[in-house]
Amino acid sequence: MAGNRAPTIYDVARRAGVAASTVSRAFSRPGRVAAGTADRIRAAATELGYRTNPVARATATGRTSMIALIVTDVTDPATAELLRGAQEAAGAAGFTTVVSDAQDDGVPQREALERALSTVDGAVVAAPHAPDTALRSLVAQRPAVLLDRMLDGLPSVVPDIADGMRRLMAHLAELGHEMVTYVAGPADAWADGMRRRGLRQAGCEYGVQSRRIGPFPATIAGGMTAAGELLRRPTTAVIAYDDLIAIGLIRALTARGILVPQEVSVVGFGNVAASALITPGLTTVASPLRAMGALGVHNLLGLLDGSGSAATDALPVRLVVRGSTAHRRRNPASAGRGSLIVSGAGSYLPVATL
């Protein structure tokens, strides 16, 4: 067991016969040093097994080359995808990523967050449901870019929800649907507001009527609850706030013997993995999550080195058509079963009324 501390630039300098600062330059800004010298230094370095010490570099420069990825739920598949994109971009740019899962706003998490923030140069934040104030206090500490959400004039990267809604409407209109129900997500969610606005516009554009129920929690359970309310006044098509609600809806409808998509078409937002696995597959709007994550760190890095605009980018979405949408049926009998009567109020699915 030799007491081998890790080699430093001084060790390399001695071995290469140059000054420590030259070694430093050779690594931190190649080109500022003569080719021959650089070679000698590199050689000495590899012989010694020298590796630059990021921590020491950080004390000297005040920049750690780390960025925080602050999320509210690593477990959420969409978040994971954002993370991956962010990770890749950060890695490619020579940045290390610190992940902070803020979850519930418990005190310990808060400390962890503070700790994380105080070591990084900036942050990319994917916290769809976090309170505005939390975000604001966060961006006060470090440059930050928001993901999948806008707030004030803060730089952010979002999916083009309006466009997604338009595509959805176009799809449903083409299938003959004349009236859709929007099953709203959390009332305070930025995305919900965007969906509502997009819904209104797209509805106009395609001559499709719409009404809204909710808000509901953005979970499968939420969707199942929503099914009950939906059936009090059914429509042939339903746009859910997100995939989880859509999945919950499909489950609850199916459980009641209502056929999806024969009797009701259901669409979601997100394109989570599960939407391809359920039966029927869920027609949904896919956000370019990976790209959003990557662009988020790209923009953040731009902010950090001053080359950046603090703008908001909206990335194009994609409509993924699966089995949960179908042409509006004029003859519900052919659907096989007709168990559409619900509750004493005795409403029917419009398509079933004839």
Partner DNA sequence: GTGAAAGCGCTAACAG
Partner DNA sequence: CTGTTAGCGCTTTCAC
What amino acid occupies position 26? A
Q: How far apart are CA 278 and CA 72, in angstroms?
A: 26
Taking CB under 7 A as the rule, does residue 44 contact DNA?
no
Taking CB under 8 A as the rule, does residue 99 contact a second copy?
yes
Q: Which of residues 11-30 bind DNA (CB under 7 A)?
A: 17-22, 24-25, 27-29
Alpha-carbon distance values, 8 to 5, 27, 55, 61, 284 (Å): 9, 12, 12, 17, 54
Q: How far apart are CA 263 and CA 341, in angstroms?
A: 12
Q: Which is nearer to a second copy, 26 or 98 (CB)?
A: 98
Taking CB under 8 A as the rule, does residue 187 contact a second copy?
no
Tell me, residue by residue from 59 to 98, as one string, x for binding to DNA by CB under 7 A and - for no binding.
xxxx------------------------------------
Provide the CA 15 distance to its chain's centre, in angstroms: 49
Helix pair angle (77-92, 289-304), 10° resolution: 40
CB atoms within 10 A of CB 236: 25
Taking CB under 8 A as the rule, does residue 92 contact a second copy?
yes
Q: Give the residue, chosen from 94, 207, 344, 346, that forms a contact with a second copy under the rule CB under 8 A.
A: 94
Taking CB under 7 A as the rule, does residue 43 contact DNA?
no
Q: Which is nearer to DNA, 36 or 346 (CB)?
A: 36
Q: How far is the CB of 279 from a second copy (least distance, A)?
A: 5
Provide the CA 255 distance to its chain's centre, in angstroms: 31
Residue 28 interacts with which of DNA, a second copy, none, CB < 5 to 8 Å by class: DNA
Residue 269: φ, ψ to 5°: -130, 135
Question: Cβ neighbours of residue 83 under 8 Å, at least 6 residues apart?
Answer: 69, 71, 74, 99, 126, 293
Residue 287 interacts with which of a second copy, DNA, none, CB < 5 to 8 Å by class: none
Binding site for DNA (CB under 7 A): 5-6, 8-10, 17-22, 24-25, 27-29, 31-34, 36-38, 50, 52-53, 56-57, 59-62
